[in-house]
Amino acid sequence: MPMAAEHAPGARTQGLRARVLTALLLAPLVMGAVLLLPSPWFAGLMALFVAMAAWEWSALAGFGARLVRAGYMALILLCLPLVWLLVPGAWHAFILALAALWWLVLALRLPLIQRIDQAPRVEPSLLMLGLLVLVTPWLALVHLHAMLTQGPLIALSLLMLIWIADSAAYFSGRRFGRAKLSAVLSPGKTRVGVYVGVAAAALWGLLVALLLGLAAPQTLFLLVICVLTAVLSVVGDLFESWLKRRRGIKDAGSLLPGHGGMLDRIDSLTAAAPIFALGFIWLIGGQ
């Protein structure tokens, strides 16, 4: 049987090159923005990314009309400043805890999926779920960025953790992976890849703890948070894969060569950011 074009070695190599090149171009820009921009400007930049993801999310909910999708983008953009300005900072942890709890419950449910049925034509309820999936990671990142004088470094450490865990899982899975993590949801993910990604996240957490000068109990707590963050990053990826497979599409968009759309790039962050931010709020306290 002839190999499908998207699975041919040449196609995989070309896709990997595009993936790496896009990452090499974007990573320095994002890192510079995190470290150099004041928190209000950083919040605005992250809002732009969220708006792009909202456009793609509305398509996953089955809405194709541009006016509807633009309206959903506007709704999400409106919710971002409202949740920041109207919700007291002390309540940010409560919102993030609710989001983290939802992702933890989803982590238990996803492995039970044995088949993927076609999605209904439109799913308004998915638009409502998008408020949690898209708004809370923005809140998590902005809250981290605004923390004391180390906020930008802490926000960057979250992004670095996800990038490191994802890259370690991707390349180790390609090289050594045999057993699939979930053949139904994401045939490309392997158990070995996840294990290596989680281990890499723990090592990164240890480095962050050393840089912050944390004591042993705080370091242990941070390692637990980093492991949970890495695990939930996989859950976010699998959840988006499930949504796309229900719609019969490979990528949520085509904005980023080698990565797909913006939602394909931040799917891990949507699930990982709330638990990481919540952990740091507890670790160093509030704002």
Cα 124 to its chain centre, rounded Å, is 22
pLDDT at 148 over 90: no
pLDDT of residue 18: 60
pLDDT of residue 5: 41
pLDDT of residue 284: 77
pLDDT at 23 over 70: no
Q: Which residues pair with 180 in a beta bridge?
A: 190
CA atoms within 13 A on the CB side of 157: 28
Residue 2 forms part of a structural domain: no
**Closest alpha carbon to 168 in 202, 207, 190, 198:** 198
Residue 96 forms part of a structural domain: yes
Mean pLDDT of the chain: 88
CA atoms within 13 A on the CB side of 95: 22
pLDDT at 287 over 60: no
Query: What tens digit of pLDDT does each residue of 180-230 get?
Result: 888 888 888 889 999 999 999 999 999 999 998 999 999 999 999 999 999
Residue 6 forms part of a structural domain: no
Which range has the worst mean pLDDT, 68-77, 130-139, 149-158?
A: 149-158
Q: Count other Cβ atoms within 10 Å, centred on residue 174.
A: 14
Residue 39 forms part of a structural domain: yes
pLDDT of residue 259: 59
The arithmetic mean of pLDDT across residues 9-29, rounded, is 66
pLDDT of residue 257: 57
End-to-end CA distance of the chain: 59
Q: What phi and psi, each to the nearest 5 degrees, are found at residue 53? A: -65, -35
**Closest alpha carbon to 100 in 243, 282, 279:** 279
Residue 12 forms part of a structural domain: no
pLDDT at 11 over 80: no
pLDDT of residue 96: 95
pLDDT of residue 16: 59
Residue 53 forms part of a structural domain: yes
Residue 192 near residue 179 (C-beta atoms within 8 A): yes
**Closest alpha carbon to 163 in 201, 217, 219:** 201
String of DSSP letters for the chain: -PPPGGGSHHHHHHHHHHHHHHHHHHHHHHHHHHHHS-HHHHHHHHHHHHHHHHHHHHHHTT---HHHHHHHHHHHHHHHHHHHHHS-HHHHHHHHHHHHHHHHHHHHHGGG----PPPPS--HHHHHHHIIIIIHHHHHHHHHHTSTTTHHHHHHHHHHHHHHHHHHHHHHHHHH--SEEETTTEEEEEHHHHHHHHHHHHHHHHHHHHHHT--HHHHHHHHHHHHHHHHHHHHHHHHHHHHHHHHT-S-S-SSBTTTBSHHHHHHHHHHHHHHHHHHHHHHH---
pLDDT at 149 over 80: no
Domain range for 63 is 19-284
Angle of helix 136-145 relative to helix 151-176, nearest 10 degrees, comes to: 130
Label residue 15 by pLDDT band (50, 70, 90).
low
Residue 1 forms part of a structural domain: no
Query: What tens digit of pLDDT does each residue of 159-185 get?
Result: 999 999 998 998 888 888 778 888 888
CA atoms within 13 A on the CB side of 207: 13
pLDDT of residue 10: 55
What pTM was estimated for this model as a whole? 0.89
Residue 161 forms part of a structural domain: yes
For residue 203, give the amino acid letter. Answer: L
Instruction: Give the count of domains, the chain.
Output: 1
Query: What tens digit of pLDDT does each residue of 225-284 get?
Result: 999 999 999 999 999 999 999 999 888 776 665 557 889 889 999 999 999 999 999 987
Token pair of 42 as six digits: 């950083």
The arithmetic mean of pLDDT across residues 73-92, rounded, is 90
